Amino acid sequence: MAKIKTVYTCQNCGNTSPKWVGRCTNCSEWNTYVEEVEVKQTQSPLPSRSASGAQPQRLSEVGAGQVERIDTRNSELNRTLGGGLVPGSLVLVGGEPGIGKSTLVLQVALDLTGRKILYVSGEESIQQIKIRANRLKRENENCYFLSETSLENILTHCEHMEPELLVVDSIQTVATSYIESSPGSVSQIRECTNGILKFAKERRIPVILIGHITKEGSLAGPKVLEHMVDTVLQFEGENQYMYRILRSIKNRFGSTSELGIFEMNNTGMREVSNPSELLINRDDEGLSGTAIACAIEGNRPLLIEIQSLVSTAAYGTPQRSSTGFDLRRLNMLLAVLEKRAGFKLAAKDVFLNIAGGIKVDDPAIDLAVISAVLSSNFDLSISKSQCFAGEVGLSGEIRAVNRLEQRIAEAEKLGMKKIFVPANGKALNFSKYKIEIDPVSRVDEFFRKVFRK
């Protein structure tokens, strides 16, 4: 016989309380507790002694066969997943509203023409999906669509159809009748994901789940959701810009340092195989305040354009503004330029922008940042055939960066004539590169080399 108990669950972290409280004691969020009905069995039967499930095995008895991945027909998505979809795996795709999650997943489903696919949408009707598919200009006779929010009905259709790929958009809209709470609650998300996970592992069907995020940017629902799935992909980008970055936050079958870059256009998500050529504008030769940085995002080298504007402060307090770059690190670099190199920037407004609307955390772009700032301050242009890779320390030294050879090779491939690198890095064979490599060790020495006329 089941015993009914009422509990209050935090919708942010999943913490439970026997009574309603205004502030969660675990995550400190306000007004997140919702009343839920918890059903417990008063008698729990003991497991049978004659278990007929999976049997224990030694590792020497397990075959190490190569797992055949499913090609998604999308090179950027394959790169992020580590080579494709693994049978029986759960992939969770999260991102801001309107960033393109549903568009990307629908595009993948329509491109897999040789496999039977079931696309379940709890947010859109079949007619709305049809309109989006017409905009993408894609068709797939083996792709079936279902507008459903009941977990039991979804799994029933899967048993009858036996699809080779299941897509659920989104997991926050799916609910099961065994839980007495509204869709999107912590208990509903946990139980529905667990049911889909069990079905996927038993039938070895790959599943793509689309998830919402909270206002803080984390995935909505319990934290256990990210532990249950095999891969977590985060879709990033600004709505005002066309570029989107797909990052791998967790991946049991590949590296988490990979990322995919897409361009949003009228026909969906276009793969960007060489983003460096799109992020650099070569038409503004001769203008001051721009510098080319050789950054590493994941395992991929990128040449990005750093833009800066330095002007006399119009008001009493100088302004510091940064887009795509950490503002605190910009303030640190400005302090280094003033203390170690003697450049007076304390009474000037400094604005910094990374072109293309992307965000970069690589410290190796410090050298390009100070180059763009000094270029704007003295109104001296930097040639677009030069690029920079180096981290600036607090004492004014230029520190070594990782994967320097990969950065130099990328700069050479894109036609750069010269690259400034740290002098205290590991010994490199500069003779194998056609690009001119100029090692620098301090900020004042670097300034004289770059801006000498």
Annotated binding-site residues for ATP read 95-102
Task: State phi, psi for 87 to the nearest 5 degrees.
Answer: -60, 135
| Pairwise CA distance, residues 309 & 351, whole Å | 5
User: Which residues contact residue 139 at a Cβ distance below 8 angstroms, ignoring those fewer than 6 apart?
Assistant: 110, 133
> Which among 133, 114, 135, 117 has a CA at the least distance from the CA of 125?
133
> Which among 335, 306, 333, 330 has a CA at the least distance from the CA of 320?
330
Determine the 3-state secondary structure of 376 from DSSP: helix
> Which among 210, 207, 270 has a CA at the least distance from the CA of 235?
210
Instruction: Return the residue matching tokens 């990374």.
Output: 354
Instruction: Return the residue matching tokens 């839920």.
Output: 36
Amino acid at position 76, single letter: E
> Which among 164, 173, 213 has a CA at the least distance from the CA of 192?
173
- H and E: helices and strands count for the chain: 11, 21
- Beta strands in 12-136, from DSSP E residues, in sequence order: 16-17, 33-41, 90-95, 117-121
Per residue, what are the HEC states of 161-198? HCCCEEEEECHHHCECCCCECCCCCHHHHHHHHHHHHH
| Pairwise CA distance, residues 365 & 322, whole Å | 14
Chain CA centroid to CA 250, Å = 10
